[in-house]
Amino acid sequence: MGPAVGTAKAPAGEPNAVDRLAELLTEDLNAVDALIHQHMTSPVGVIPNLAAHLIDAGGKRIRPLITLAAARLLGGGGDGPRKLAAAVEFIHSATLLHDDVVDLSSMRRGKKSANLVWGNSASVLVGDFLFARSFNLMVETGDIQVLDILARAASVIAEGEVMQLAAANDADTTRERYMEIIVAKTAALFAAAARAGAVAAGRPGAEAEALETYGRELGLAFQLVDDALDYGGRSLTMGKNTGDDFREGKVTLPVVFARDAGDEAERAFWRRAMGGERTDDDFHRAQALIRRHDAIALTLDAARDHAARATSAIAALPTNAYHEALDELALFVVERAH
């Protein structure tokens, strides 16, 4: 299977919900990939090289799939949703490039990250290029409503990233604060991707609302599972390192649960570890405390709640293969952690 499907395969090699969604939308997805490659060209060689390193590395294309499925679910099709789907993937890619600079990451999708290969400066600038190209694509649809949706999402994502940066090394980060961060940095793009698909299908009203909620809740479930996996191994299948969040001093929900359930000595550990320098031994201690307090299971429970809200948000929408696939996707996003 091409670059559209990916790293989060079902263990036994059988197709998972992302694979099946990609299968259902093969034609759309091929068109989106063509648009992506067409719009990342530039006479400035570094740009397509760096962009391809990231974009062709086997990302799951979950966000563009959501845009396409949302449009198809409501009977929409054609060029509009495809261009938006490509635009959504560009916004996501730009964000990843800048994230990796901010986090000083060295791995992404199982490969060396672009900042490590080309340097931080090139990653910043090519991120800017992809971000600009996402707007070129949206402009091509001629639809100011979807520009509004995605431009708003883009500024919310940046707010979320800055919030996360400001909260780094703050051992007292609350669950509420953490949720606020992930609503902005992750869920906003999922929500906008789904809403834009509905709007492109000519349904800007209640259906768009429902799909926006689906996207937001799915995005939350997705991020919660990611944050659980960061303490749970599987670094090979996920294409990223375990322990990244801990090393970067990001207080995610597993830490919040373990910290709040811990005794005084444990809370002192979290204060020291999240607030300052962290060693590999600290990470193993953190993992042990997270296990002791069942914090992974609690985090996955929270993810499951959001996934359930995602499917119930669209329950009243037409029943068809796309609707079914979106329901399955919500289940899969949580189950991939097991």
Q: How far is it, in rounded angstroms, from Cα 222 to Cα 226?
A: 6
Q: Which residues pair with 111 in a beta bridge?
A: 108
117 contributes a contact to its own copies by CB under 8 A: no
- The interface region with its own copies, picked from 73-81, 129-137, 266-274, 282-290 by CB under 8 A, is 129-137
Q: How far is it, in rounded angstroms, from Cα 248 to Cα 68?
A: 34
Q: How far is it, in rounded angstroms, from Cα 314 to Cα 317?
A: 5
Task: Find all residues with CB under 8 Å of 95, minimum gap 6, and list them.
Answer: 127, 157, 161, 189
| Neighbour tally for 78: CB within 10 Å | 12
- The interface region with its own copies, picked from 65-73, 128-136, 239-247, 303-311 by CB under 8 A, is 128-136
87 contributes a contact to its own copies by CB under 8 A: no
41 contributes a contact to its own copies by CB under 8 A: no
Residues 148-187 that bind its own copies (CB under 8 A): 148, 151-152, 154-155, 157-159, 161-163, 165-166
44 contributes a contact to its own copies by CB under 8 A: yes
| Neighbour tally for 41: CB within 10 Å | 11
C-beta of residue 67 within 8 angstroms of C-beta of residue 84: yes
CB 94, min distance to its own copies, A: 8
CB 87, min distance to its own copies, A: 11
C-beta of residue 182 within 8 angstroms of C-beta of residue 220: yes
Burial 184-208 (b: 16+ CB within 10 A, else e): bbbbbbbbbbbbbbbbbbebeeebb
52 contributes a contact to its own copies by CB under 8 A: no
- Say how many residues touch its own copies, by CB under 8 A: 42
Q: How far is it, in rounded angstroms, from Cα 107 to Cα 332?
A: 24
Q: Which residues pair with 108 in a beta bridge?
A: 111
Per DSSP, the residues of 282-309 read: HHHHHHHHHHHTTHHHHHHHHHHHHHHH
335 contributes a contact to its own copies by CB under 8 A: no
CB 154, min distance to its own copies, A: 4
10 contributes a contact to its own copies by CB under 8 A: no
301 contributes a contact to its own copies by CB under 8 A: no
- For its own copies, which residue of 121, 174, 279, 319 counts as binding (CB under 8 A)? 121
46 contributes a contact to its own copies by CB under 8 A: yes
| Phi/psi-derived region of residue 262, left when phi > 0, alpha when psi is between -120 and 50, beta in every other case | beta
CB 162, min distance to its own copies, A: 5
- For its own copies, which residue of 5, 16, 131, 255 counts as binding (CB under 8 A)? 131
- For its own copies, which residue of 2, 26, 79, 128 counts as binding (CB under 8 A)? 128
**CB-wise, 109 or 185, nearer to its own copies?**
185
CA dist list (Å): 32 to 27, 84, 198, 213: 9, 9, 17, 24
**CB-wise, 96 or 298, nearer to its own copies?**
96
139 contributes a contact to its own copies by CB under 8 A: yes
Q: Which residues pair with 107 in a beta bridge?
A: 112
288 contributes a contact to its own copies by CB under 8 A: no
69 contributes a contact to its own copies by CB under 8 A: no
CB 110, min distance to its own copies, A: 24
199 contributes a contact to its own copies by CB under 8 A: no
Q: How far is it, in rounded angstroms, from Cα 202 to Cα 220?
A: 26
Report the interface residues with its own copies, using CB under 8 A: 42-47, 94, 98, 101-102, 120-122, 124-129, 131-133, 135-136, 138-139, 142, 144, 147-148, 151-152, 154-155, 157-159, 161-163, 165-166
